[in-house]
Amino acid sequence: MKAIDDLLNYHAKEGAGQSDPFAADQPVFGQPPGLTDVKLLRVLTT
Amino acid sequence: MTKKAIIYLHGFNSASLDVHGELLVSKDKLQVMHDFCTQHDIVFFTPNVDYRDFKTIVEDMLFEWNQFLDRGYDVVFMGSSMGGFSSEYLALKTGCCAIMINPALSPSSLLPQFVGVEANYETGQPYQWQQSHCEQYIPYEQELAASEQSIKRTLLLDMADELIDAQMTLEKYRDRARVETFQGGSHSFEHMREALSMVEQVVFLESLTE
Mean local confidence (pLDDT), B49-75:
94
Q: How many CB atoms lie within 10 A of CB B200?
A: 13
Mean local confidence (pLDDT), A10-33:
44
Q: pLDDT tens digits, residue range B87-110? A: 999 999 999 999 999 999 999 999
Is residue A1 pLDDT above 90, yes or no? no
List CB contacts (< 8 A) between B55 and chain A: 4
Is residue A46 pLDDT above 80, yes or no? no
Tell me, yes or no, if A13 comes closer than 8 A to chain B by beta carbon: no
For residues B101 and B187, what is the distance between their CA atoms, to the nearest angstrom? 9
A2-14 exposure pattern, b = at least 16 Cβ within 10 A, e = fewer: eeeeebbebeeee
The pLDDT score that the predictor gives to residue A43 is 43
Q: pLDDT tens digits, residue range B188-208? A: 999 999 999 999 999 998 755
B31-60 exposure pattern, b = at least 16 Cβ within 10 A, e = fewer: ebbbebbeeeebbbbbbbbbbbebeebbbb
What number is the ipTM of this complex?
0.70
Query: Inter-chain contact B93–A8, Cβ cutoff 8 Å?
Result: yes
Query: Inter-chain contact A28–B58, Cβ cutoff 8 Å?
Result: no
Is residue A6 pLDDT above 90, yes or no? no
Q: pLDDT tens digits, residue range B19-43? A: 889 999 889 999 999 999 999 999 9
